[in-house]
A and B are shown apart, each in its own frame.
Chain A
């Protein structure tokens, strides 16, 4: 009997869906809107995160060493730095390396190169270029390098010159993160309320039918079941519709974003994660549709 009832509930759910195709279409379009907003927020997060990560990557701290500091000591400091949890990577640039880079960078400026050749000695300093896990940690790293035991070796740490830029980037990163979460929550909540209200209006339309079902002896579950099934169908179709709209949209928009922010490729992200995105959309859509029906129908079942 349970099996028969379950089959009947599912069948009725599909039947209601078809016979009220206009109402179904309207509800689905609202859920599509919700899912579209949610996916857009997700993609926006991908953009901001990679922009922030890129900015953080560009910021580093360099420690310059006195000309007479032996290379071995510098490499020892490098080993010490790598052991710190805040440090992501440390690159050693020797005096010769620094000279080569300098000449490369200024190869168009003949005057500068000539005056460099005038000198007998290499005027450039060996340095360590340090990247931190996040911009907020440079303070600690700079403090580590300024310990007295390194004082004879280290000439200067350029953190203090870059300090303002670094702080700004680190503030920006955390603000974008926090603001993004709040904006996402607010927008998602709005979308959920709109969906819920749409489903509630649909249910209002059904309230007389529901009372008739009660009066001819249907149990609450038997009445509610088809509506929940319908909600799940809404969710699945809405998820697929969202993907179908999103794909061509990204196809056109993504190259434009990439030309602004070379490190962001939304289309690639979308294609790689399409399975997970689909599952997320179907899940959110189905839960939204069925839960809204479930809650909205409750008040009409007390007959």
Chain B
């Protein structure tokens, strides 16, 4: 369960006396196993919202709750524990360049201190789920964009997180790969993981017909079940 309670995020803009408002009094409640699309143009505050959830940024006002834990109060030292409960997928994949697909996924488990036996079992399984079992020993530069994103999803998935946050995961992909990734996220959602998908891709949102939260200039302007992309 995720709550946003009256959350605002204001950045200090260099050289400008007006503060930059990224998020303005957001109230939001996300139930387990939902599939949510976060819509809005660039600069609407979608990424900031996700950054608050993984503790990369702290809200200026209000509180963000994840599974009954107030994220404002988590120190830098304990952030890794929170991040192991959340899977994160980025537009630019953010894989470790000098590690193979297998090692990239295994890294998330190693960092959490899981045993070699568990890693040996789970990593091939997850790579199989995303359809990359045969490319486990490839380095990121040897993989296509779609394949890289699937490695990233496998890495997000391997902790068995309750939530996966995907920030424009298809932004760097062609149409075919885009739908592969969306289908993969839907499949993961069916297996019981909450998915929050931030995107400005009209086609994706209109075809999903799931809950859509629309942000514009930092404000939550629409929240509809089975929504469409309207601006």
Do A and B come together as binding partners?
A: yes
Are A215 and B111 interface neighbours, CB within 8 A?
no
Asked whether any CB of chain A lies closer than 8 Å to the CB of B126, the reply is no
Alpha-carbon gap, A19 to B56, bound state (A): 29
Asked whether any CB of chain A lies closer than 8 Å to the CB of B81, the reply is yes
Instruction: Select A212's contact among B80, B94, B113, B116, beta carbons within 8 Å.
Output: B94
Alpha-carbon gap, A219 to B98, bound state (A): 19
Given known A-B contacts A20-B98, A302-B76, A216 and B113 have beta carbons under 8 A apart: no
Contacts of A214 in B (CB 8 A): 79-80, 83
Asked whether any CB of chain B lies closer than 8 Å to the CB of A140, the reply is no
Contacts of A19 in B (CB 8 A): 98
Are A217 and B96 interface neighbours, CB within 8 A?
no
Given known A-B contacts A4-B113, A8-B110, A303-B56, A219 and B94 have beta carbons under 8 A apart: no
Alpha-carbon gap, A39 to B182, bound state (A): 62
Contacts of B159 in A (CB 8 A): 217
Are A1 and B113 interface neighbours, CB within 8 A?
yes
Asked whether any CB of chain A lies closer than 8 Å to the CB of B88, the reply is yes
Residue on B nearest A7 in the bound complex, by CB: B116
Are A5 and B113 interface neighbours, CB within 8 A?
yes
Instruction: Select B116's contact among A4, A209, A219, A302, beta carbons within 8 Å.
Output: A4
Contacts of A220 in B (CB 8 A): 77
Contacts of B54 in A (CB 8 A): 215
Given known A-B contacts A217-B108, A220-B77, A212 and B96 have beta carbons under 8 A apart: yes
Contacts of A24 in B (CB 8 A): none
Give the most central of A4, A215, A302: most B CB within 10 Å: A215
Instruction: Select A216's contact among B76, B83, B115, beta carbons within 8 Å.
Output: B83
Q: Which residues of B contact A (CB under 8 A)?
A: 54, 56, 76-77, 79-81, 83-84, 88, 94-98, 107-108, 110-113, 115-116, 155-156, 159
Q: Which residues of A contact B (CB under 8 A)?
A: 1, 4-5, 8, 16, 19-20, 208-209, 212-220, 222, 302-303
Given contacts A212-B96, A217-B84, A218-B111, 14 further A-B contacts (CB under 8 A): A4-B113, A16-B98, A19-B98, A212-B95, A213-B96, A214-B79, A214-B80, A215-B83, A215-B88, A216-B88, A217-B81, A219-B77, A222-B110, A302-B76
